[in-house]
Structure 1
Amino acid sequence: HSLTPVLGQIDMLGALNIAFLPFLFVFFASEFFSTMGTTLAVGGEAGLLDEEGNMPHINRPFMVDSIAAAVGPWLGIPAATALIESSAAAEAGGKTGLTALSAAVMFLLMLLFTPVALMIPKEATAPALILIGLNMFSGLRKVDLANFTDGLPVLMMVMITLIANSFGTGIAGGLLFYVVIKTIAGKWREIPIGLWILAIPLVYYFATLVKH
């Protein structure tokens, strides 16, 4: 199939129509939280997080991901973004950009074997994804599950991710549930001001998902 019918076919002015605002926000929120979750998860697996669990220079992977997400559709391909499957490389010891470049070269070479790759059923890759998921669950050991105001939002995050089949939606739901459960428990003072501000667009995000 040729990419000519879709290559560069982007209507920027049309996308600015206010009627498309809910859809644009859904795409943005999903992309943002997926990238944040993937970056922190892979960074944690690679041992790149600091003592407080923050990712140094996190703006760099966000910059790369935002450029890829913008350029991908212009080339007529699905949205290019960071995927949690990247944790497999971190688990194998990859910590630098050389790991990403090696994976990119392998993907490029696979274009020559696309017909063969299409013959492989999706079920054949399931075991690898299951192992990646089990490896991610190891991070739950760091959660204070005895404190229900901290433990319940994490469990809710996992449940929403499984139900919605979206890493970003799961994180967004967990953060919103964290605000709700802390408020109900009378611990609203423990909620950072930034999370209070973030809760407003998150409510809009889920309202948009339900509406559409």
Structure 2
Amino acid sequence: MGTTLAVGGEAGLLDEEGNMPQINRPFMVDSIAAALGPWVGIPAATALIESSAAAEAGGKTGLTALSAAVMFLLMLLFTPVALMIPKEATAPALILIGLNMFSGLRKVDLANFTDGLPVLMMVMITLIANSFGTGIAGGLLFTL
């Protein structure tokens, strides 16, 4: 649900209260893909947070996902070339992606202690533990 709302926010599909009016549509597609995926031999299909980059670039239809799928298939041909790139060369791109992931924090009222502390703890625990699940669990403990 969080990924769906985050991508919907980037695409401008949320109302003034931060809700997605037709949220049942992406959930229906997600559930059908998760149910039918194993039957055709693909891993669990789900909405990915990477979709927010496509939404931010203006893509709001299935054509965006189809274009990304074609590019992934084409990239399979260039995998040996991509493996030759040292990890150090990809670091700047990963840093920029990480900074982009923090863009959602500007919507959090950090001056409000009950909102700010759990978010701060989620970010800190995620970075220290190197695990999103552990960070979310730690942040939830601070909401009690």
TM-score scaled by structure 2?
A: 0.74
Deviation string 1:122-164 (CA, Å, 9 cap, x unpaired) is: 5444433322322232322221111111111111222233344
Distance 1:54 1:92 in 2: 21
Note the C-alpha offset of 1:86.
Answer: 2.2
The 3 A distance-change label for structure 1 pair 107 and 40 is same
Aligned residue for 2:65? 100
Do the aligned partners of residues 78 and 104 (structure 1) sit closer, same or farther apart at CA in structure 2, a change above 3 Å counting? Answer: same
Residues 164 and 82 of structure 1: is their aligned pair in 2 closer, same or farther, counting only changes over 3 Å?
A: farther
Structure 1: distance between partners of 2:138 and 2:53: 25
Over aligned residue pairs, what C-alpha RMSD do you find? 2.8
Question: TM-score when scaled to structure 1?
Answer: 0.54
CA contact (8 A) 1:87 1:132 kept: no
| Mean CA deviation greater in 133-142 or 167-176 | 167-176
* CA displacement 1:91-126 (0-9 Å, x = unmatched): 222222221111111112222333333333454444
Larger deviation, residues 148-157 vs 70-79: 70-79
Residues 57/132 of structure 1: CA separation in 2 closer, same or farther (3 Å cut): farther
> Could you tell which deviates more after superposition, 129-138 or 103-112?
129-138
Higher relative contact order (CA 8 A, sep 6+): 1
Structure 2: which 5+ residue stretches go unaligned? none
Deviation at 1:85?
A: 2.3
Residue 51 of structure 1, CA deviation: 0.8
Percent of matched pairs sharing the same residue: 98
Larger-Rg structure: 1
Structure 1 runs (4+) greater than 6 angstroms displaced? none
| Unmatched tracts of structure 1, length 5 or more | 1-35, 177-212
